[in-house]
Each structure stands twice: as structure tokens, then as C-alpha cells.
Amino acid sequence: MIKTCWVCGGSSFNKVKSSNINSDITAQSFAITDKKYGVTLDIFKCGDCGFLQCHNFPDVLKYYEDMEDEGYEDSSKQRMIQMKRIVKSVKKYKKTGSFLDVGAGSGLLVSEAKKASFEAEGVEPSVWLQKIAEKKGLNVHLGILSDMQTAKSFDVVSIIDVIEHVENPLSLLEDVKEKMNDESVGIIVTPDCKSFMAKLLGWNWWHYRVAHIGYFDENTIKLILKKSGFNILSIARPNWYFPADYLIKRLSTYLPFLKFLPLPRFFSKITIPLNLFDSMQIVIEKDKG
């Protein structure tokens, strides 16, 4: 089968990085908090648009369905700060209405959207994460967006750190568009593989990991959004928030001596804001022309 670019449809590729996975791939290889930075599948660069994709590894969905991630839940308090900021960004365009979060995890963004007076729900493929959301009383459906058999449209659709995980991002965006009406807005967050930090760290950049199979930059995200029928309303560089102990553990990948530092318990209660300008937050609307 001829491999085609997931963004532009081109068929000319150059392998720019070979897989360096040294063990069997399991569901935990796809954990949100996996810290094996720089460990990836084969990465190919499209000769036409420059998009980076891992097209030698089909059917990643089954791994997400079985994935569990205790670390994600342990850091949920800090992650909620990020979700509040995402909702604040949405509020500039939509004060209230229906809100769908795609790849909702344990429902952190759904919860924050509800607090902000949205009628919020989500969809999540991980059985484990969806059950946690359900126990919280949140309306998070099990599955992926294309599983949602409803004619309902939403005023806001979010795909936060999702599009880099799927093998057909154009199809995902088309499904998002189907869930939007002419007045809806969408919000996307994804890493920027041409950011300063990505260039500085090379293949050791923290966003190069098994779970990420498509790597966007500003040009390729603009291209795929135009191709799928969207206009861009804004592009920003979002902050992230981490517990101090979580961040230090992640930094130990680059600074091994940190592994031997004893961390006081109160470090888990300290929240550190971080913006390395290597992620994009894009607000979109349907192209009405």
C-alpha cells in the first residue's frame, strides 16, 4: 500500500528518524505522563509539505482503550489550572452553550466547562479514564468522536493534545466540523515541532515519544485546517502547570543528577507555571465561504 501524507496527501517521504524502541509496545507506552522522551516509532517527513508522521504503525486506538495512567490523576489539581485557562480563552468567543471535549481523559476540561456555565460533555477511548470521569458524575462517553451517533451540534468543540495522537488527523477534523454549527468555535492544542525548544533539543525534545505519531508546526496545522474547511481565529502559546515534584522528575531525563535529589513532600503541593512556547493553541471556526 502506498503511504500518503496525512496533511497534504503527498506520497514522497524521507525517513528522518528510525525507531529506537527497545521493548514491546504496550498500552502504557501511550500513557499521558510517559517520560521516555526521544523514544519514537519510525518518523517520516513528507517531501511536499514537511509534515512528520509515523505511518508504519497502524491501529493505535487499541492501546488507548487499554491505557491507564495514575500519574495523570495524581497531577490533576495542576492540570485543572490549564483547563481553566482554556475555558477562559473559549469565553472570548462563546460565553455559554454546549461544549464537547474530544479525548476528554478523566473529564478535567468537562468539569471546568461546567463550572463556567457550559452544558459540557466529552468522549474518551480509555476505559480506565472514562470510568473515573463517570464516577465524578461527568458526562464522558466511552469511545472516539466518530462513535458518537448524534445529530446534535455543539457551540464549542475542543481537541486538546489529541490531534498528534491519531493516524488520520484530517478525518478527525472533519468529524469535529460535523459536530459544529455555523456559529461554533473549536479549540486545538498541539505541540509545535519547529519551536525553539524542539530545535534546541532535537530528537530528545519531550514531545518526541511513542504516543505522538504526527508532528505539526504552524505551516502544517494551518494547511490541514484550511483543507478541512476551517478558518483560524487566533493562535497562541499556552502555559502549562505542573507539581514541582512532577516537573523535577521529568527534568531528570535531561539532568540525571536530579534523580538522586531527595524531594520534600510539600513539593507535590507547589504548582509551577511553565511556558516554553513549544505548543500551539488554535481557535477555529467553520469556513462559511
pLDDT at 260: 66
Residue pair 269/75 in contact (Cβ under 8 Å)? The answer is: no
What's the pLDDT score for residue 201?
A: 94
**pLDDT digits over 227-281, tens only?**
999 999 999 998 877 777 777 776 777 767 666 677 677 667 777 777 889 999 9
- The DSSP secondary-structure symbol of 262 reads P
CA 141 to chain centre: 18
Average pLDDT value over all residues in the chain: 92
Give the largest CA-CA distance in the chain. Answer: 59
User: Closest by alpha carbon to 193, among 166, 213, 179?
Assistant: 213
The CA distance from 179 to 284, in Å, is 13
The pLDDT assigned to 245 comes to: 74
Domains of the chain in start order, with CATH, are 62-191+216-286 (3.40.50.150)
**Of residues 239 and 185, which shows the higher confidence score?**
185
Give the lowest-confidence range in 35-39, 91-95, 233-237: 35-39
Q: Which of 106-120, 137-151, 271-285 has the highest mean pLDDT?
A: 106-120
Closest CA to 88 of 277, 258, 236: 236
Dihedral-angle region of residue 236 (phi above 0 means left; psi in -120 to 50 means alpha; beta otherwise): beta
Q: Which residues contact 31 (CB under 8 A, 6 or more apart)?
A: 67, 68, 69, 71, 72, 211
* 271 or 220, greater pLDDT: 220
> Contact, 175 vs 153, CB < 8 A?
no
Q: Which is more confident, 253 or 96?
A: 96
Cα 250 to Cα 15, 28, 185, 268, distances in angstroms: 28, 17, 34, 13
Enumerate the β-bridge partners of residue 45. 14, 52
* H helix runs in the chain, sequence order: 61-66, 70-74, 76-91, 108-115, 127-135, 169-178, 196-201, 218-227, 244-251
How high is the pLDDT of residue 239?
Answer: 84
* Phi and psi torsions of 196, nearest 5°: -60, -45
Contact of 276 with 86, CB cutoff 8 Å: no
Reported confidence tier of residue 192, pLDDT bands at 50, 70, 90: very high
Q: What is the reported pLDDT for 1? A: 65
- Indicate yes or no: pTM above 0.85: yes
Mean local confidence (pLDDT), 193-220: 96
What is the rounded CA–CA span in Å between residue 211 and residue 207? 9
Tell me: the pLDDT tens digits for 64-90? 999 999 988 888 888 898 999 999 999
Higher pLDDT, 35 or 119: 119
Instruction: State the pLDDT at residue 123.
Output: 98
What DSSP line would sit under 47-65, residue for residue?
A: TTT--EE-TTS---HHHHH
Read off φ and ψ for residue 119, nearest 5 degrees: -90, 95
